[in-house]
Amino acid sequence: MTATNVSTQVFQVFIKATPEAIWNAITDPEWNRKYGYPGHSEYDLRPGGAFRAVSSEEMKAGGAPGIGVDGEVVEVDPPRRLVQTWRFLFTPEMEAEGFTRVTWETQEEVNGVTRLTVTHEVEGAPLTAQQVGGRDPIDQGGGGWDLILSDLKTLLETGKSFHS
């Protein structure tokens, strides 16, 4: 494994969808289970509310924990901004890195396009930085935020995810 000194990673994607549709795809388990990695995310959408990414049965059969990521909602401004903490629970070393911070922001552009920006502050969490940056330290074939956001865009624009 190679550590990274990157303390903040920023990912952007332009999606032909409304900010509301993107917000729902991020925060609603019925939507967020359709793209990215198998499983779904649950949010208690209020400051101090819980966040958790629940592994699918397929992931658990492959050795993933029942809850792959946990955290807390810090700020909620639907459909423009969601700030949360984030901690991987896949390995004891990743869990020991503690909580990092993720900010989701939407900005309406022209012609029905919305810019989605995900900022992940990973200071002091080199394993997390590798994982979310698509350089998978636990060797599970992960593509990080790039994969998740590309699949989200594909789902919202075509109605099908990479897994469909």
For residue 18, what pLDDT is reported?
A: 98
CB contact at 8 A, 3 and 137: no
Q: What is the pTM of this model?
A: 0.90
Residues 6 or more apart whose CB falls under 8 angstroms from that of 150 comprise 13, 143, 162
pLDDT digit string (tens) for 121-153? Answer: 999 999 999 889 876 544 455 678 998 999 999
Helix pair angle (144-158, 19-27), 10° resolution: 120
| Domain ranges within the chain, ordered by starting residue | 8-37+75-158
CA 5 – CA 99 distance, rounded (Å): 17
Backbone phi, then psi, for 49, in 5-degree steps?
-70, 155
pLDDT per residue as tens digits for the range 35-80: 998 899 999 999 999 999 999 998 899 888 999 999 999 999 999 9
Look-up: residue for tokens 């208690």? Answer: 44
Condensed to tens digits (0 to 9), the pLDDT of residues 3-23 reads: 445 689 999 999 999 999 999
Burial track 33-48 (b if 16+ CB lie within 10 A, e otherwise): bbbbbebbbebeeeee
Looking at 1.10.510.10, 3.30.530.20, 3.40.630.10, 3.40.630.30, the CATH number of the domain 8-37+75-158 comes to 3.30.530.20
